[in-house]
Amino acid sequence: MNVKELADLFVRFLETNTAPEGLFTDDVFLDLTVPQWRLQTSGRDELVAARRRSHPALGTVPRHRVDPTPTGFVLEFEERWEDEQGAWYCRELMRAEVRDGAISEASVYCTGDWDPATQAAHARAVTLLRP
């Protein structure tokens, strides 16, 4: 499987909370950094469970970009989802190591989840040059 196909499968995982067959190795290692916190998992089932705990509401990935590296790829992406508190947003960067055509290690850096109030405050304070 090539890098673009793996990145597309990862985006599908983010949007469905279900890992497509072949996306992760059985022993995949996740190192997730969010503002002021860090979590790690070992194994496919633990990674999927961590995702479902942190993002139980399904959403979309409106933008993403993948860049190959010698041992995998870097994926920059945004997520949007809704729950009873409103529309949420976050930006993330993942460095993925690939072994035998599947993600074997993932280091993810997340801005944290921005609730509607945070997004509104940001829009009032900052004019972005690009989306």
Lookup: tokens for 52: 């479902």
Give the side-chain half-sphere CA count within 13 A for 120.
Answer: 5
Pick from 31, 62, 27: nearest CA to 45: 27
At 101-129, the pLDDT tens digits run: 999 999 999 999 999 999 999 999 999 99
User: DSSP assignment, residue 114?
Assistant: B
- pLDDT at site 131: 82
Q: Taken in order 33, 37, 38, 44, is the CA torsion positive or negative?
A: negative
Lookup: tokens for 54: 């942190």
pTM over 0.85: yes
* 49 three-state secondary structure: helix
State yes or no: pLDDT of 1 exceeds 90.
no
At 15-73, the pLDDT tens digits run: 999 999 999 999 999 999 999 999 999 999 999 999 999 999 999 999 999 999 999 99
Pairwise CA distance, residues 57 & 115, whole Å = 13
State yes or no: pLDDT of 8 exceeds 90.
yes
Pairwise CA distance, residues 25 & 21, whole Å = 10
